[in-house]
Chains A and B, each alone.
Chain A
Amino acid sequence: MRSGAALVQLTLVRYREFRREPEAIFWVFVFPLLLASGLGIAFRNRPTEIVNVGVAAGRPGTEEVRAALAANHELIVEVLDDSAAARELRIGRLALVAVPEGPGRVTYRFDDTRPDARTARFLVDDALQRGAGRKDPVESHEDFVREPGSRYIDFVLPGLLGLNLMGSGMWGIGFSVVDARRKRLLKRFLATPMSKWEYLASFVVSRLTLLIIEVTLLVGFGILAFHVPLRGSLFALVLTCLLAALAFGGLGLLIAARPTTIEGASGLMNLVMMPQWIFSGVFFASNKFPAVAQPFIKALPLTAVVDAFRGIMLEGVGLLGLIPELTVIVVWAIVSFAVALRIFRWK
């Protein structure tokens, strides 16, 4: 027995604890997929919208205006009397009503605070002016860019991946350790010849293996369901994941180093995770925060992890280009592990 046997058994314990906690499996594996789907669907790029507009009935030129507008495929035109037009405008079913006022004159009735109404105004005006024979002095062409990589799902998926690694790394280690201390299990282990490093290493080993499933699921789902690009190398992605898991694992261990209650650990956990939820650019770009805050934001581990993921997946940045982010991550890993081991309380 011995020489590695304890590490194997302790690591098996980690897997068993995890596998036998259905809620943990849901939050680690299923929830990120649901969140990614929800966000991907909610913020998907919609096809060009068709705008409903009206033309006031019984005016001189009503028919000419209707015909001119109907020629534009982005507009659906109907003719209706004043009271009906007012009602449809009010409830928002029509974006705009054109009121012909004699030859060569028309009034647009619309709510200028509504974006679709303003779009409608330009489309309607353009259609009428062209119909009346306007010649544009500049000849313009259109070239549509609808590539994967610039959509919200492309932006948010690397963020969710980072968020997931942070959550599972910190909770996965922090909760187990504090729970074992609270139950005096750590003390009981201390009374055996078990080596302390094997106990702590079992968390690292189990985290790194569960990580493979987590990352494969989320990235695979993003690629298959939403065609999120992976333009950089798989190696860079895997390396970043490993370092991120070590950094967040170290932070989890640091948080769990002293508290004797789950409540105490939860408070610290939120204290550490909350700023990163907000500032690290998971759901919206972190450069929206003021410039003075940027050095602080860049130094957060989650910012570095998310930036690195976006660089690899969306821009195809190589390892050399990731040196600033990877340095931040490695420093966090080393410092947090070193401090955690120094102040760790077994009893």
Chain B
Amino acid sequence: MATALSIRGLRKTYGDVVAVDHLDLEVKTGECFGLLGPNGAGKTTTIEICEGLTDPDAGEVEVLGRRWNSHAQELRERLGVSLQETQLQEKLTVEETVRLFRSFYQKGRPVEEVIDAVQLTEKRRARVGQLSGGQRQRLALACALVGEPDLFFLDEPTTGLDPQSRRQLWELIAGFKAAGRTVVITTHYMDEAERLCDRVAIVDHGRVIALGSPRELIESMGAEHVVEFALAGDQQIEDETLRRLDGVLAVQREDGLIRLQAAEIHRVVPALLAELQRRGAMLAELRTHTATLEDLFVALTGRHLRDA
């Protein structure tokens, strides 16, 4: 399969801060690729280098088989971009905004069609200032869509939105992929990556620390389930004891909560309950869930995506 984006040895520093540290990536044509990581992991710097907005200190970037220093104008014609925190002009209407962006491109889709595609037809005469957060993000996607790009770069398209707006955006992005476009998306929401992406690169401190499909990544932990519990009162239980329990693969502690990684939940839970009963310890809470990319991130870094 052809390569839409290829990054080798990418490095970018801002003063003493290393934002991107020898990062390598390949994105295939037609796939939806996610850069998942906490704030400050280097996702935005990476994607802005790919968009031609930031110059790297070292490394090679090929977008659609072209390089920025030789084919900048052609690349801008073929990319659809949504930046983090762009505020479109509030005094313009939806239609005027899309028409403006359409005028920048040689070829593209009709303005009405694009507005319809992002479900803003009813709002097309409304000023941008009157739109909700979700509507603004959909307008931002319309601006990315109107040049009929081969490759989309979407930087945190759903950050700060309510659940319903996020689902609407996911449908739209899934639609881009269904239409055969390549999508590169950054996010710090593991559910977004799991839902949308064919493959995910987990990024931390400017490096790729894990790469694969969401399923593969979760399976790579060897633990498809997570059991979380807390003990009542000030009762204690040692990691060593827990690790010896039948089926427990790893133990982590966080804010009084103990997390057990497990391949088979039906072995771990009875063993845990038996051990607690033997000690006369009481549970304050107990829950289990299927492992997520979030759990993988915690397992890899000991930190959460949200607050790392």
- A42 on the B face (CB < 8 A): no
State whether B103 touches A5 (Cβ < 8 A): yes
* CB neighbours of B104 from chain A (8 A): 6, 189, 192-194
State whether A184 touches B103 (Cβ < 8 A): no
Partner of A17, one of B86, B91, B147: B91
Residues 78-100 of B at the A interface (beta carbon under 8 Å): 79, 81, 83, 85-89, 91-92, 96, 99-100
CB-nearest residue of chain A to B105: A193
CB-nearest residue of chain B to A347: B53
- B107 on the A face (CB < 8 A): yes
- A21 on the B face (CB < 8 A): yes
CB-nearest residue of chain B to A186: B86
- A234 on the B face (CB < 8 A): no
Q: A191-B53, A191-B79, A192-B76 are in contact. Are A184 and B106 (CB under 8 A)?
A: no
Residues 6-41 of A at the B interface (beta carbon under 8 Å): 6, 8-10, 12-13, 16-17, 20-21
CB-nearest residue of chain A to B140: A188
Q: A185-B87, A185-B89 are in contact. Are A191 and B81 (CB under 8 A)?
A: yes
CB-nearest residue of chain B to A192: B104
State whether B92 touches A16 (Cβ < 8 A): yes
- B212 on the A face (CB < 8 A): no
Give min CB distance, A63 to chain B, whole Å.
78
Residues 178-204 of A at the B interface (beta carbon under 8 Å): 180, 183-185, 187-194
* CB neighbours of A6 from chain B (8 A): 103-104
Give min CB distance, A342 to chain B, whole Å.
18
- A2 on the B face (CB < 8 A): yes
Give min CB distance, B146 to chain A, whole Å.
10
State whether A184 touches B96 (Cβ < 8 A): no
CB-nearest residue of chain B to A184: B86
* CB neighbours of A9 from chain B (8 A): 99-100, 103
Q: A185-B88, A192-B147 are in contact. Are A2 and B76 (CB under 8 A)?
A: no
- A1 on the B face (CB < 8 A): yes
- Alpha-carbon gap, A200 to B36, bound state (A): 37
State whether B86 touches A187 (Cβ < 8 A): yes
State whether A21 touches B91 (Cβ < 8 A): yes
- B56 on the A face (CB < 8 A): no
* CB neighbours of A183 from chain B (8 A): 86-88
Q: A1-B105, A16-B91, A193-B104 are in contact. Are A188 and B76 (CB under 8 A)?
A: no
* CB neighbours of A8 from chain B (8 A): 103
- Alpha-carbon gap, A194 to B81, bound state (A): 13
Give min CB distance, B153 to chain A, whole Å.
8
CB-nearest residue of chain A to B107: A1
State whether B86 touches A185 (Cβ < 8 A): yes
State whether B91 touches A20 (Cβ < 8 A): yes
State whether A184 touches B87 (Cβ < 8 A): yes
User: 1/0 per residue B36-80: CB within 8 Å of A?
Assistant: 000000000000000111000000000000000000010011010
Q: A13-B100, A16-B91 are in contact. Are A1 and B106 (CB under 8 A)?
A: yes
State whether A193 touches B73 (Cβ < 8 A): yes
* CB neighbours of A185 from chain B (8 A): 86-89
State whether B91 touches A192 (Cβ < 8 A): no
* CB neighbours of B103 from chain A (8 A): 1-2, 5-6, 8-10
- Alpha-carbon gap, A347 to B86, bound state (A): 11
State whether A190 touches B53 (Cβ < 8 A): yes
State whether A193 touches B76 (Cβ < 8 A): yes
Give min CB distance, B140 to chain A, whole Å.
8
State whether A1 touches B102 (Cβ < 8 A): yes
* CB neighbours of A17 from chain B (8 A): 89, 91-92
Q: A10-B100, A16-B92 are in contact. Are A188 and B106 (CB under 8 A)?
A: no
CB-nearest residue of chain B to A182: B87
User: 1/0 per residue B124-135: CB within 8 Å of A?
Assistant: 000100000000
* CB neighbours of B106 from chain A (8 A): 1-2, 193
* CB neighbours of A21 from chain B (8 A): 91
State whether B87 touches A2 (Cβ < 8 A): no
* CB neighbours of A1 from chain B (8 A): 102-103, 105-108
State whether B92 touches A191 (Cβ < 8 A): no
* CB neighbours of B170 from chain A (8 A): none
- Alpha-carbon gap, A5 to B77, bound state (A): 15
* CB neighbours of A347 from chain B (8 A): 53
Residues 98-151 of B at the A interface (beta carbon under 8 Å): 99-108, 127, 143, 147
State whether B83 touches A188 (Cβ < 8 A): yes
- Alpha-carbon gap, A8 to B102, bound state (A): 12
Residues 210-245 of B at the A interface (beta carbon under 8 Å): none
State whether A184 touches B83 (Cβ < 8 A): yes
Q: Pick from B83, B85, B100, B107 the residue with the most CB of A within 10 Å.
A: B100
State whether A191 touches B91 (Cβ < 8 A): no
State whether A191 touches B83 (Cβ < 8 A): yes
Q: Pick from B79, B92, B103, B143 the residue with the most CB of A within 10 Å.
A: B103
- Alpha-carbon gap, A196 to B87, bound state (A): 19
Partner of A188, one of B52, B86, B91: B86
* CB neighbours of B83 from chain A (8 A): 184, 187-188, 191
Give min CB distance, A236 to chain B, whole Å.
36
* CB neighbours of B79 from chain A (8 A): 191
- Alpha-carbon gap, A6 to B147, bound state (A): 13
State whether B81 touches A193 (Cβ < 8 A): no
- Alpha-carbon gap, A187 to B143, bound state (A): 14
A-B pairs with beta carbons under 8 Å apart, 10 shown: A6-B103, A9-B99, A13-B96, A20-B127, A183-B86, A185-B87, A185-B89, A188-B143, A191-B83, A192-B105
Known: A6-B104, A12-B96. 14 other contacts (CB 8 A): A2-B103, A16-B96, A17-B91, A21-B91, A183-B88, A184-B87, A187-B83, A188-B81, A191-B51, A191-B79, A192-B101, A193-B77, A193-B147, A194-B104
A-B CB proximity, top 8 nearest: A183-B87, A9-B103, A194-B104, A193-B76, A191-B81, A192-B104, A20-B91, A5-B103
